[in-house]
Amino acid sequence: MDEAKWYVVHTFSGYENKVATNLETIVENRHLQDWIHEVRVPTETVVEIKDNQRKEVERKIFPGYVLVKMVMSDDSWFVVRNVRGCTGFVGPNGKPVPLTEAEIAALGVEKKEIVVDYAVGDTVNIVDGPLENFSGIVEEIDREKNMVRVTISMFGRETSVELELDQAERMD
């Protein structure tokens, strides 16, 4: 079986959630989980201030689009294409084109969990980026943001730097 890839489906404006829900229901009812793996409507949480009231609102990042992780075949294409509210796949002449790894990472669709073997207080060596080969002490680890804060000694001064989790390795 082919590998599942992410595709972008165009929908009527305002129908994104309905299309996603309908597609998930069809997948469930017809037992198509092997073909259509995941359906997402990319959203972000935004703070809106109206009448001096702060309110967190879920806002669609791409109105009119739904992301579908699926194995492309004539059958799976037909199922997705014929969901009510769906107007077709994004690609030249409506021919589906999968998203690249870089596009998927930029959209934050799939979170790659990075397992680290260091903890706060450990000494780490920086293995990538402009501070490569410097070492420092871990101050904070933020797995949500894929970030680690390390204090390094540079020119005799303590400097706090933010790195991606995989830019640092524990020193033995």
Sorted by where each starts, the structural domains of the chain and their CATH numbers stand as 5-107 (3.30.70.940), 123-170 (2.30.30.30)
Alpha carbon 8 to its chain's center: 14
Picking from 68, 48, 51, 67, the residue whose alpha carbon sits closest to that of residue 59 is 48
Whether the per-residue pLDDT at 54 is higher than 90: the answer is: no
In the predicted model, what is the mean pLDDT of the chain? 87
Whether the per-residue pLDDT at 17 is higher than 90: the answer is: yes
Q: What is the pLDDT of residues 123-169, one digit of tens each?
A: 999 988 889 999 999 999 987 777 899 999 988 899 999 988 888 88
Question: What's the pLDDT score for residue 23?
Answer: 95
Question: What's the pLDDT score for residue 110?
Answer: 60
Q: What is the mean pLDDT of residues 6-19?
A: 93
Q: Which residue has the higher pLDDT, 44 or 7?
A: 7
Whether the per-residue pLDDT at 172 is higher than 70: the answer is: yes
Whether the per-residue pLDDT at 111 is higher than 60: the answer is: no
pTM: 0.60
